Structure 1
Amino acid sequence: MLQIDTWKRVLIWATVVVGLILALPNAFYTRVETHNDALAAIEAGGDAAGLEAQVGMWPDWLPSGLVNLGLDLRGGAHLLAEVKVQDVYKARIQAMWPEIRDMLREERATIGTIRLQPGADEELRIRISEADQVERAASLVRGLARPVASLTGAGASDIAVSTEGDMVIVQLSDAEKLATDDRTVRQALEIIRNRIDEVGTREPTIQRQGAERILIQVPGVGSAAELKRIIGTTAQLTFQPVVTRTADENTNPGPGEQLVPSRDEQGQFYVLESAPVVTGEDLVDAQPSFDQNGRPAVTFRFDPSGARRFGDYTAENIGKPFAIVLDNEVISAPTIQDHIPGGSGIITGRFTLEESTELAVLLRAGALPAGLDFLEERTIGPELGADSIEAGKVATIVAFVAVLVFMALSYGLFGVFANVALIINIGLIFGLLSLIGATLTLPGIAGIVLTVGMAVDANVLVFERIREELKTAKGPARAIDLGYEKALSAIIDANITTFITAVILYAVGSGPVRGFAITLGLGILTSVFTAIFVTRLMVVIWFERRRPKTLEV
């Protein structure tokens, strides 16, 4: 019998209403976007009174989720960056020197004195005064090796130790270099994402490409140069002991030392110990602030491990200068006046308020483990996005109208039911995209256009099956019932295969391909729902009221 239970009818219409309400904010995109931005500004500590008018542009009791516009629709910046992983090799190998030095000094009675010799950036060359004990010294250094922390390097050590005459040479092993490369790119990826999230941009695309490259696309950013300024600074903060201060830029630092220029004092340089006491990795918080003279500064706080090392060093070196180094520039070199046990302090310098705020953001997000080379950069203007949106609208409207006319001419009143379901279907797609916070790109619009064409397929199968059943002299009610029943398997099979294709595209694709896969997959789900449930419910309601003796399909 042609019958649908009351609870099913309520559930179907409730689903339609909820989906359309979720899609409603997209019809008032600019107003809702302004409302959302004002709320975000208030949560970040902005002036609530000054933003009240913007908040009132959209009712709070309505949903405010929007379909985010991608880079090709909104405009923005595109960067392709390559991570300079070799920078990390030098930092890793230099950080090992204090531990190796302290261990070998304990064996001084046997191996004699040790001296760090100049060499390549990626190696330590240690001269042993007792040349006949160089193998013993190398064996001791090998005892400091640790297993490589990666699946590909299982069973390998992180350092390779060799001898050359009276010298022990320490390098990172090949397995450790591969593991370091992977960790460095992953860490850079996460830090770039944190920095972009800190400045409140919408739906950035940040993904790895190849072994050492990262693709960054951020809608709404004014230029590629602005984006580079946000993410291109390594913001590597270290606290290093000062050996001496000089005005001679040609000063040759000793082994284990480095010459670093002063940021604010023109022509001044500092000779520092290369091994830092603490680094920016030990920071847990950094906030813009003001010093005792009211000048912009940055306050910081270390984690327990960093606080302990910082406190121990300040306790043992009262009266000595201590350099705060940011990106290989000394921004401050205060003299330690007293023990600092709390693990917190303040970075002063000739900052503007904007610079102190930006530095705090960079330090909170973390230091990039290595520098970036920008291989490709593009700024996409919003006018290009407007043209893309307009072209997408035209394509969607043309496809939409063509399908509506075809269905109405081919199936009469039943075609009108299918057309109403198609309009509901488009609304449900946008409702789901808003609900999950998806980003709409040009390929995504193509997916919606394709869905418009595919959405009526299920109705066509049903209506043609009803026609076949009417030819067997069955009554209208029985023909409708059998039409939906016998077309169901074909509808499910056809849409499952297409949905599997969408899932595969999403799994193996990236960027625009994923945008197409998302809209196609959601469109299949909503199309099946509207064809099987919504259209059938409209046909049943019409049939119950009119009780026709014949059907014109």
Structure 2
Amino acid sequence: MLQIDLWKRILIWLMVAFGLLLALPNAFYDRVERYNDAQAVLIDETAGAEARAAVEGDAGLWPSFLPSSLVNLGLDLRGGAHLLAEVQVEDVYASRIEALWPQLRDALRPERDTVGTIRLQPSADDELRVRISRPEGMERALAVARGLAQPIQTLTGAGSTDYEFTAEGDVLIARLSEAERAATDERTVRQALEIIRRRIDEVGTREPTIQRQGGDRILIQVPGIGSASELKEIIGTTAQLTFQPVVGQTSSIDDAPGLGNEVLPSLDQPGVFYILEQAAVVTGEELTNAQPSFDQNGRPAVNFTFNVSGARKFGDYTAENIGSPFAIVLDDQVISAPVIQSHIPGGSGIITGSFTVEESTNLAVLLRAGALPAELTFLEERTIGPELGADSIRAGQVACLVAFAAVLVFMFLSYGLFGIFANIALIINVGLIFGLLSAIGATLTLPGIAGIVLTIGMAVDANVLIFERIREEVKTAKGPARAIELGYEKALSAILDANITTFITAVILFTMGSGPVQGFAVTLGLGILTSVFTAIFVTRLLVVMWFERRRPKTLEV
């Protein structure tokens, strides 16, 4: 018979109430958004007293006992910046070859009786040339050099090493192997992707889209940011920190530094240039943490900490070079060049310079995020203004309202009271969609709105099948209760088949697609789940409650 247990009724209404409660913050979007931003500042232990005081008023805009998760608005709805960047992977080849020289020099020094003197020769960016004074010792030099090569830990590079060493007369030549170049390309793009993600997350943007496209390109879309140039400033700053030995000083950047050296300007001493060894002792890649602080004189500074390998190299170098200057270089500018006074164990130190508090904070953020492994070339940049986003939202709202109104009128005219039940379930359905989108932190885009509009049209399909089946059962002279029961039973298989196949399509779209396609797939898939729930459970419960109260002798469907 037409019965639904009490516990099932309570469970259905609890699920409906919970879903609508999750969707509630979206009805007060601006207020809840300001509340969430204020809470983020108050929770942040590094936020200053002024920042906390500025957001105290916003912290009371929304009750803390209510959910505050919102549906994030995508780039096309909120406005923001779009960039397509290409990673210049060739830059990494040169730095790898440059870093090989100190290792090769140190490895060949004990073999001087065999190979003679060792001299660095002018070389192309992707190779290292070293001349030995005794050509008859080349075989020994190659053996020692090949001992520095490491096996490549990838499936495609199995059996290969990272460096290839050859000889031309008395010159030993080192190059990256093809397998290592391929592995380096993959590693570089992945590292750049992660660093870009961390830098954008550090500045508190909402739901950025950062995806790899092709072999060496990265798509970056950040809603809510002012312009593409502002976004480029955030992600384009390299913040490459190195610690390099000082060879000497000069008054002109055009002076010849000698092979293996470079001339860099001082950041806070105009007209002063330092001659440094190109091979860094420690780099920013070995940093584990960087925090803004103040030095002993109360000036803004940055405290840093190295990882285990960086701490060991830093400690060994300072122990062996007491009394020698040591340059701290940031983005090809010498921040400072202090004289090493004593051994510095533990792998921690402080960067001082002519910083403001804001500059030291920004530097710490960039250092924590890490240095970009290679230069980015921006192939495409686009700024979408908030006005265009607002227009898109209005257009989406109009589309939803028109579709909603048309479906409500059609269902009422076609099925009367039963159509009203379907309309109530449809309203609940839309609320549940927004509740689920808020719960999972999904981003709503224009294609996502299209998915909601499509769901509104499809949501009543299940009710149409059920009501038409009830009509047929009524015509066979069955009683109202039996007709309703059979209508739901016999329509169930068709409802499940249709929605399961559509849900599979949504899963494929989400898996194979990207960006807008995924946004459409998410709203479509969630809409299918909520539509089946409201049609099978909510509408049926409304019909049963009405039937138990009225006990009609006939049905007008």
Give the TM-score, by structure 2 length: 0.97
Equivalent position of 2:60 in the other structure: 56
2:39 matches 1:35: no
Equivalent position of 1:140 in the other structure: 144
- Quickly say closer, same or farther: Cα 1:213–1:504, change in 2 above 3 A: same
Q: Distance in 1 between matches of 2:302 and 2:53?
A: 28
Alignment of 1:13-162 (within 5 A): 13-44=13-44, 45-47=47-49, 48-162=52-166
Alignment of 1:314-325 (within 5 A): 314-325=318-329
Letter in 1 for 2:30: T
Match of 1:230 among 207, 226, 234: 234
Q: Distance in 2 between matches of 1:104 and 1:338?
A: 30
2:399 matches 1:395: yes
Letter in 1 for 2:303: T
| 4+ residue segments displaced more than 6 Å | none
Equivalent position of 2:288 in the other structure: 284
Give the count of matched residue pairs.
553
Shift, 1:536, TM fit: 0.4
Equivalent position of 1:308 in the other structure: 312
RMSD of aligned C-alpha atoms? 1.2
SS at match of 1:263: coil
Q: Distance in 2 between matches of 1:103 and 1:295?
A: 43
SS at match of 1:107: helix
SS at match of 1:254: coil
SS at match of 2:472: helix
Q: Distance in 1 between matches of 2:463 and 2:405?
A: 17
Match of 1:537 among 538, 541, 547: 541
Q: Distance in 2 between matches of 1:151 and 1:201?
A: 37
Q: Which deviations, in whole Å up to 9, do the C-alpha atoms of 1:449-498 show, x marking residues without a partner? A: 00000000000010111111111111111111011001001000000111
Shift, 1:289, TM fit: 1.8
2:530 matches 1:526: yes
Q: Distance in 1 between matches of 2:170 and 2:271?
A: 39
Letter in 1 for 2:179: A
Q: Distance in 2 between matches of 1:545 and 1:530?
A: 21
Q: Distance in 1 between matches of 2:357 and 2:309?
A: 30
Q: Distance in 2 between matches of 1:374 and 1:264?
A: 31
Unaligned 5+ segments in structure 1 are none
**What is the percentage of aligned positions where both structures have the same residue?**
75
Match of 1:261 among 265, 271, 277: 265
SS at match of 2:83: strand
Equivalent position of 1:331 in the other structure: 335
Q: Which deviations, in whole Å up to 9, do the C-alpha atoms of 1:184-240 show, x marking residues without a partner? A: 010010011111111111100011111111111111111111111111011111101
Shift, 1:316, TM fit: 1.7
Q: Which deviations, in whole Å up to 9, do the C-alpha atoms of 1:346-404 show, x marking residues without a partner? A: 11122222211111000011111111111111111100000000000000000000000
Q: Distance in 2 between matches of 1:511 and 1:355?
A: 35
2:448 matches 1:444: yes
Q: Distance in 2 between matches of 1:445 and 1:383?
A: 18
Maintained 8 Å contact 2:238/2:331? yes
SS at match of 2:57: helix
SS at match of 2:428: helix
Q: Distance in 2 between matches of 1:171 and 1:214?
A: 28
Q: Distance in 2 between matches of 1:126 and 1:304?
A: 31
2:475 matches 1:504: no
2:544 matches 1:548: no
SS at match of 2:159: coil
Q: Which deviations, in whole Å up to 9, do the C-alpha atoms of 1:304-326 show, x marking residues without a partner? A: 32222212211221211100111
Equivalent position of 2:408 in the other structure: 404
SS at match of 1:315: helix
Shift, 1:49, TM fit: 4.9
SS at match of 1:96: helix
Q: Distance in 1 between matches of 2:143 and 2:177?
A: 16
2:6 matches 1:6: yes
User: Which is further off, 325-334 or 525-534?
Assistant: 325-334
Q: Which deviations, in whole Å up to 9, do the C-alpha atoms of 1:489-520 show, x marking residues without a partner? A: 10000001110111011001111111100000
Match of 1:489 among 478, 481, 493: 493
Unaligned 5+ segments in structure 2 are none
SS at match of 1:64: coil
Shift, 1:50, TM fit: 4.5
Maintained 8 Å contact 2:132/2:171? yes
Match of 1:427 among 425, 431, 442: 431
Q: Which deviations, in whole Å up to 9, do the C-alpha atoms of 1:160-194 show, x marking residues without a partner? A: 11111211110001110010011001001001111
Shift, 1:46, TM fit: 4.6
Shift, 1:141, TM fit: 1.2
Equivalent position of 1:178 in the other structure: 182
Shift, 1:94, TM fit: 1.3
Shift, 1:130, TM fit: 1.1
Q: Which deviations, in whole Å up to 9, do the C-alpha atoms of 1:518-540 show, x marking residues without a partner? A: 00000000000000000000000
Shift, 1:265, TM fit: 2.4
User: Which is further off, 488-497 or 278-287?
Assistant: 278-287
Letter in 1 for 2:2: L
Q: Distance in 1 between matches of 2:134 and 2:342?
A: 42
Q: Distance in 2 between matches of 1:64 and 1:228?
A: 31
Q: Distance in 2 between matches of 1:220 and 1:325?
A: 34
Shift, 1:283, TM fit: 1.2
Give the TM-score, by structure 1 length: 0.98
SS at match of 1:106: helix
User: Which is further off, 137-146 or 218-227?
Assistant: 137-146
Maintained 8 Å contact 2:114/2:140? no
